[in-house]
Amino acid sequence: MAATIRPHSAADEELKLETEAAQATGLVGPASWWRLGLIALLIVVAVLLALQLLGGNSGTDVIPGTPITAPQTNVPVPAAG
């Protein structure tokens, strides 16, 4: 039986265990940035939606002393005829 021997290269010498910090931050590699960006975008959208829903519509506020708050009197419409 012939033994297969892989040639020993310098690249194999450079392989080593990652440091603890590198292992802890392994999720922030370039391959998973899109996930973090998507999560951040969803958080921003949720905050903006909450602000819109809780803020109300200031365009419909009634300002005291303006004609819209004055008492309205109905003027009868004359009958046609």
Contact status, residue 35 vs residue 28, Cβ threshold 8 Å: no
Alpha carbon distances (Å) from 79 to 23, 72, 76:
87, 21, 9
16-49 burial by CB neighbour count: b if 16+ within 10 A, else e? eeeeeeeeeeeeeeeeeeeeeeeeeeeeeeeeee
Is 0.85 topped by the overall pTM?
Answer: no
- Give the model confidence (pLDDT) of 52-80 as tens digits: 888 776 666 777 777 765 566 777 778 87
Residue 57: predicted pLDDT = 66
For residues 55 and 50, what is the distance between their CA atoms, to the nearest angstrom?
8
